[in-house]
Amino acid sequence: MNILGIDAGSSSVKAAVLRNGRIAGRLVRCAFPTRFEGVRAEVEPRAILQAIAQAISELGAAARRVDVIALSVMAPSWIAMDSAGRPLTPIVTHQDRRSVDAARALEARLGVQRLLALNGNRPFPGGISSSTFAWFVQHEPELMAKADLVGHLNTYLHRQMTGARVTDPSNASYMGLYSVLDMGGWNLELCEAVGASPRVLPDILPANAIGGHITAQAALDLGLTAGTPMLTGLMDTAAALLLVGAKIGQLINVCGSTDVLGVVTDHPRPDERLLTRALGVGRKWMSVSTIAAAGSAFAWAKEQLFADLSEEAFRRLMQKLARRPVPSTVRFEPYLAGDRMSIEQRQGAFTGLTLASTREQMLGAMIEALAAASAARIPLLQAGGLKILRTVLVSGGVQGGLNKVLHRDWPGQWVFRTEIEATLRGLGTMKPVKV
């Protein structure tokens, strides 16, 4: 079976024709911009469609001869649409922090333990999009009165490409309106607390279910074949896990701009400091912890502190400082992109600076802080008694050695299995089902 895999990430669309989990032919990548304004992080919906169209064009005729289309997306990626499927809002990404007050109000109304029992998650701004939904209900009531469909990016893409109104359990989990722990559908108590009408929410189908078929208009616009079935799709980290079988206890670490560490479980145990979500396929869940700025923190350091160094020289310096830390009073708080695991948003900061401090000491402090934050998540994921497998699936931007820095202080013995393009290749293992 030939599968057209489309991975719409946080900065680009990647696409390839896949066969048995392998890329058959070429892989193409088409970037799109994110707009940052204060605490807001938004993507223009049409920019993602244009990136998809460009990627399909570069793949050429092979993209029109596939048996099925499989989709993975960044999440949260909240968007509201009108009755024709046109976007009423931008795509609000996981880096957005506008909804802190809305998150506080949700916790005050329902209480932390009730939220964990209903959804498995606190309404972290940027991490769980119920707070984003509540923000738009409060601040854009006239716009939301026109909303006919609200979901994440996979819902928007299906509405545009197949006309369907669907999402999968993994994206539904991070919408904050879903009964995650039993996969019981949209929760009316949560919807009422947010001010969300269930009528605007998409149907929830398994990620590997056929969610719809490419319409004649979408085929014309995107260069596809009308009638091609398209799977509902799922979140990017879940797709990567499918590549290695998504076994219970399997750890995945996506080392990129944001560092994501998650483990597969068959018994979800919500925690105030974790995100809990369905895998998207079968009766499995994930417990997840993230560092909002990992690779992006070092990119900032390269640009602001070491602009005179080449990328290769900066990488060598990072590796040297990770192996042999420089004695220093400088300390770093690793929150340059806030904190996806708390309501109150933290900020990055250096302390202990003196006139004798050097930029190498500042970079060293960043390495020590991020390595410690990465290691601290292991006991947290083990706390529920889950037996974690010792082979870790590693994906993301590992080419710069970021994974070695972040794994340096992990307690215990681990085998790190790096899989290039794991998310895209994982889509190639999906077996379509009808529901």
248: pLDDT strictly greater than 90: yes
Tell me the mean pLDDT in the region 60-73: 96
Measured CA to CA, the distance from residue 419 to residue 428 in angstroms comes to 14
Q: Which pLDDT belongs to residue 186? A: 98
Domain assignment present for residue 349? The answer is yes
Phi, psi of 35 (to 5 degrees): -95, 120
Q: What is the pLDDT of residue 40?
A: 94
pLDDT recorded at residue 175 = 98
Q: Is the peptide bond before 76 cis (omega within 30 degrees of 0)?
A: yes
- 136 by DSSP, 3-state: which? helix
Phi, psi for residue 313 in degrees, rounded to 5: -65, -40
As for how many domains the chain has, the answer is 2
Domain membership flag for residue 423? no
Residues 341 and 400 occupy one common structural domain: yes
Q: How far apart are CA 223 and CA 322, in angstroms?
A: 47
Domain-located, residue 131: yes
Same domain (yes/no): 253, 234: no
How many residues belong to the chain?
A: 435
State the residue range of the domain holding 382.
245-418
State whether 220 and 265 are in the same domain. no
Residues 216, 255, single domain; the answer is no
Residue 398: the pLDDT is 53
Across 203-225, average pLDDT: 97
pLDDT tens digit string along 14-42? 999 999 879 998 999 999 999 999 999 99
| Band of residue 256 on the pLDDT scale cut at 50, 70, 90 | confident
Residue 434 lies in a domain: no
Residues 365 and 324 in one domain: yes
* Residues 107 and 27 both lie in one domain: yes
Q: Percent of the chain having pLDDT more than 70?
A: 99
What type of residue is 181? Answer: L
Residue 385 banded pLDDT, cuts 50, 70, 90: confident
Residue 44 lies in a domain: yes
pLDDT on residue 397: 62
pLDDT at 400 over 80: no
User: Is residue 321 in some structural domain?
Assistant: yes
Confidence bin at 399 (pLDDT 50/70/90) = low
Closest C-alpha to 223, from 84, 71, 66: 66
Q: Do 121 and 100 have their domain in common?
A: yes
Final residue in a domain of this structure, among 184, 206, 238: 238
- Rounded Cα distance, 169 and 410, in Å: 31
With a pLDDT cut of 90, the percent of the chain lying above it is 88
Tokens standing for residue 206: 């398994």
- Greater confidence, 402 or 247? 247
When comparing pLDDT for 256 and 220, which is higher?
Answer: 220
Give the mean pLDDT of 326-335: 95
Asked whether residue 380 falls in the same domain as residue 289, the answer is yes
Cα-only R_g, the chain: 21
Mean pLDDT of the chain: 95
Q: What is the mean pLDDT of residues 338-363?
A: 93
In 3-state terms the chain splits into helix, strand, coil percentages (rounded to 5) of 35, 25, 40
Is the domain of 24 the same as that of 154?
A: yes
Q: Which residues contact 121 (CB under 8 A, 6 or more apart)?
A: 115, 127, 128, 173, 174, 176, 180, 270, 275, 276, 277
Q: Tens digits of per-residue pLDDT, 41-56? A: 999 999 999 999 999 9
Residues 71, 427 contacting (CB under 8 angstroms) = yes
Tell me: the pLDDT tens digits for 272-323?
999 999 999 999 999 999 998 899 899 999 999 999 999 999 999 999 999 9
Instruction: Tell me, yes or no, whether 427 lies in a domain.
Output: no
Among 426, 68, 49, 106, residue whose Cα is nearest residue 228: 68
Average confidence (pLDDT) over 253-278:
93
285 versus 345: which is more confidently predicted? 285
Nearest to 367 by CA among 395, 328, 340, 337: 328
Whether residues 227 and 185 share a domain: the answer is yes
> Is 347 contained in some domain?
yes
| Distance between CA atoms of residues 161 and 52, nearest Å | 11
Neighbouring CB atoms inside 10 A of 229's CB total 18
Residue 383 — very low, low, confident or very high, per pLDDT cuts 50/70/90? confident
Same domain flag for 223 and 302: no
Look up the CATH number of the domain holding residue 348: 3.30.420.40
Q: Which of 238, 270, 295 is the last residue of a domain?
A: 238
Q: Which of 191, 217, 238 is the last residue of a domain?
A: 238
Enumerate the β-bridge partners of residue 276.
Answer: 287
Q: Which of 369, 375, 293 is nearest to 335 (CA)?
A: 293
Residue 93 sits in the same domain as residue 234: yes
d(CA 348, CA 88): 33
- Encode pLDDT of 193-204 as tens digits: 999 999 999 999
